[in-house]
Amino acid sequence: MVWTPSICKTKIKPAEFICVYRSRTTDSLDEGALRFLSSGYVDYHLLLYDILGSEAHLIMLHEIGFLSSTSLKDLLAGLETIRKNPKILDIDKFEDIHECIETYLVTNLGYDVGGILQTARSRNDQVTLDLRMMVRDTINLISRMLVQLIDELLSRSEDNFNSIMPMYTHLQQAQLGTFAHFLLSYAEILSRDLDRLNDSYDRINLSPLGACAIGGTSINIDRYRTSSLLGFKGILNNSIDATTSRDDLIEYMSSLGIIMLNLSRIAEDFILWSTTEFGFVEIPDKYSSTSSLMPQKKNPDTLELIRAKASTVVGFLFGAMSLVKGLPSGYSRDLQELKPVLINSSRVVKESLNVLIPIVRGLKVNHAHMMDAARSSYAISVDIAEQLVSQKHISFRSAHRLVGSIVRTAVEKGNIPLSKLAESDIQNAFGQDASGVEPRDVLKVIQRLSPEKSIESRLSSGSPSVLQQRKLFDILLEKKKAYEKLISEREKSVNSAFNHLSHAAERYTQAGKT
């Protein structure tokens, strides 16, 4: 369940403003200090989760005999009013969403009823509860988007098993490969992103509710009941850990940072290959920009921004890590600053995936240009050397030296293809030491090795031969299907718990049953 309400602007109905938390102090909070302290500008992302957590907590208090059915009915009705009409609140007038909601209930129900809401819990366990529920939903959403991107990559790879092109190291042509091989490499790294998110989900899917400020409560609450009502698989066992630690959330942000690094690499490849100099692919018009001056320009701006936003998310991650590195055990207000970087990291990843998926789907592949580059490339040199090793039984280093000399001769003759060399050219390239190999034998190897033969000759697992690509395709397809099933099961579990909670809240609100 992912739910983002509108930003709340409507004022609370009663004219008199009540600040329910200022029991120790006598003066009202300075207006400037309130603006400085308030996290209302991001807390609307947490509103639904805070309501759900409050409803589960109240139902549990009623079930252990602490809260009367009448008070439960009134409190749940108030929370449901907010949930159905979030604009009834004015979050900007409060330090955070928790104070805003409680103030609304106290204002409308009085201290005797509205003031019960915070019994046996604190903002400290509330905020980490809300964040965990939000991140839990966001992991499922981002995982679904990753699965969709992997699906597009697999689909495009099927059409490109034979799209031969040069592969690069140091941005220099290295060996021949296929476009499908690149696409499958992207699917591979994204599948590891799914693995990381899945591991993170299991650690985040634990409830801190009931840990209170730091040391629990003397009221005999049932933390396992609220955990179940909210769809968690269990609780965080230690109350200090539950309210202090943010390592699980930072681990999640780390996974987002790695996702963006991977998306940046994909984007950079497409940017390079879409240039006139490469001409291997063309970005869909819908995801390209133009120049205000140069009418011929078609710029891959969406991909450039994915590349740039990777640094933004990594910056958020290091900001979060710097935030917690010097904090003592126990909640500190510093942790409030984790909320915007956490929320914005998720937003950037979702937006980046949202544009990259259709770019992959609509990418135009210039097969002929790729093949022309492969045919004129010296990237076939490794294959020639390996054929000499296999057929003429010379050492690889000897073959390496011979082929290097041959390539140098071809370059000196105007960068002509190796297949255009004459036997005399190869003889001259050999010099005095040919390691017992005849120039005509080398020329035969060169002329037999077309780009197609080069790809077919690859035997090692994970290479770009069609057989190996097929194997990897099948592995990735099965993994994708497994994750589709897992994500659906996780979503079903959470939604089932939320539906059960909603029905329970509705039942208590309407009938007030004990």
How far apart are alpha carbons 317 and 254 in whole angstroms? 6
Burial label, 477 (beta-carbon count in 10 A; 0-12, 13-18, 19+): middle
Is it the case that residue 502 has pLDDT exceeding 70?
Answer: yes
Smallest Cα–Cα separation from 370: which of 165, 157, 172? 165
How far apart are alpha carbons 416 and 171 in whole angstroms? 21
Is 21 within the bounds of a domain? Answer: yes
How far apart are alpha carbons 175 and 378 in whole angstroms? 8
- Looking at residue 32, its pLDDT comes to 79
Over residues 146-164, the pLDDT tens digits come to 999 999 999 999 999 999 9
How far apart are alpha carbons 354 and 278 in whole angstroms? 26
Over residues 90-129, the pLDDT tens digits come to 888 888 888 899 999 999 999 999 999 999 999 999 999 9
Smallest Cα–Cα separation from 7: which of 83, 90, 81, 95? 90
Same domain, 305 and 387: no
Over residues 409-466, the pLDDT tens digits come to 999 999 999 999 998 988 888 865 556 788 888 999 999 999 999 999 999 999 999 9
Three-state DSSP class for residue 365: strand
Q: Among the three residues 119, 148, 170, which one is the final residue of a domain in this structure? A: 119
How far apart are alpha carbons 149 and 474 in whole angstroms? 16
Token code pair at residue 277: 């100099």
Over residues 72-92, the pLDDT tens digits come to 999 999 999 999 999 899 888
pLDDT top residue among 42 and 72: 72
CA dihedral for 309, 313, 319, 325, sign (positive or negative): negative
Same domain, 69 and 195: no
Q: Which of 28, 291, 311, 496 is catalytic?
A: 291
Q: Give percent of the chain with pLDDT exceeding 70.
A: 93
How far apart are alpha carbons 149 and 396 in whole angstroms? 41
Same domain, 211 and 244: yes
Count of structural domains, the chain: 3
Backbone angles phi, psi at 405, to 5 degrees: -65, -40
Inter-residue contact 89 to 8 (CB < 8 Å): yes
Over residues 163-191, the pLDDT tens digits come to 999 999 999 999 999 999 999 999 999 99
Same domain, 329 and 444: no
Average pLDDT along the chain: 91
- First-to-last CA distance in the chain? 29
Distance of CA 379 to the CA centre of its chain: 35
Question: 165: which residues sit within 8 A by CB, 6+ positions away?
Answer: 176, 177, 178, 179, 280, 370, 371, 373, 374
Is 429 within the bounds of a domain? Answer: yes
Is it the case that residue 13 has pLDDT exceeding 80?
Answer: no
- Looking at residue 412, its pLDDT comes to 93
CATH of the domain at 198: 1.20.200.10
Same domain, 344 and 385: no
Q: Annotated catalytic, 291? A: yes
* For residues 388-404, average pLDDT: 91
Same domain, 147 and 246: yes
Is it the case that residue 9 has pLDDT exceeding 50?
Answer: no
Same domain, 315 and 390: no
- Looking at residue 19, its pLDDT comes to 65
- Looking at residue 477, its pLDDT comes to 98
**Whole-prediction pTM value?**
0.91
Q: Annotated catalytic, 71? A: no
CATH of the domain at 20: 1.10.275.10
Is it the case that residue 498 has pLDDT exceeding 50?
Answer: yes
Is 376 within the bounds of a domain? Answer: no
Same domain, 211 and 358: yes
Same domain, 396 and 490: no
How far apart are alpha carbons 279 and 194 in whole angstroms? 32
Backbone angles phi, psi at 118, to 5 degrees: -90, 10
How far apart are alpha carbons 143 and 481 in whole angstroms? 12
Helical residues (DSSP H) of 325-422, grouped into ranges: 338-362, 367-375, 381-392, 396-412
Is 100 within the bounds of a domain? Answer: yes
Give residue 24's pLDDT band: very low, low, confident or very high (50, 70, 90): low
Q: Which of 6, 23, 170, 393 is catalytic?
A: 170
Rg of the chain taking only CA atoms, in angstroms? 31
Three-state DSSP class for residue 173: strand
pLDDT top residue among 422 and 25: 422
CATH of the domain at 433: 1.10.40
Give residue 295's pLDDT band: very low, low, confident or very high (50, 70, 90): confident
Token code pair at residue 462: 């994970």
Ranges 11-25, 330-344, 478-492: which has the least confidence: 11-25
Over residues 226-264, the pLDDT tens digits come to 999 999 999 999 999 999 999 999 999 999 999 999 999
- Looking at residue 297, its pLDDT comes to 87
How far apart are alpha carbons 473 and 476 in whole angstroms? 5
Inter-residue contact 166 to 379 (CB < 8 Å): yes
Give residue 504's pLDDT band: very low, low, confident or very high (50, 70, 90): very high
How far apart are alpha carbons 182 and 273 in whole angstroms? 12
- Looking at residue 84, its pLDDT comes to 92
Same domain, 343 and 195: yes
Inter-residue contact 79 to 72 (CB < 8 Å): no
Is it the case that residue 15 has pLDDT exceeding 70?
Answer: no
Q: Among the three residues 69, 91, 119, which one is the final residue of a domain in this structure? A: 119
Smallest Cα–Cα separation from 252: which of 95, 136, 158, 170? 136
Residue for token digits 């002509």?
A: 416
How far apart are alpha carbons 267 and 433 in whole angstroms? 46
How far apart are alpha carbons 377 and 179 in whole angstroms? 16
Is 10 within the bounds of a domain? Answer: yes
Inter-residue contact 131 to 339 (CB < 8 Å): yes
Same domain, 341 and 486: yes
> How many CA atoms within 13 Å lie on the side-chain side of 306?
29
Same domain, 203 and 60: no
How far apart are alpha carbons 100 and 383 in whole angstroms? 70
Is it the case that residue 18 has pLDDT exceeding 60?
Answer: no
Is it the case that residue 10 has pLDDT exceeding 50?
Answer: no
Is 92 within the bounds of a domain? Answer: yes
Is 486 within the bounds of a domain? Answer: yes
Is 170 within the bounds of a domain? Answer: no
Which residue range is the domain that position 61 belongs to? Answer: 1-119
Q: State the amino acid at position 445 in one-letter form.
A: V
Is it the case that residue 475 has pLDDT exceeding 60?
Answer: yes
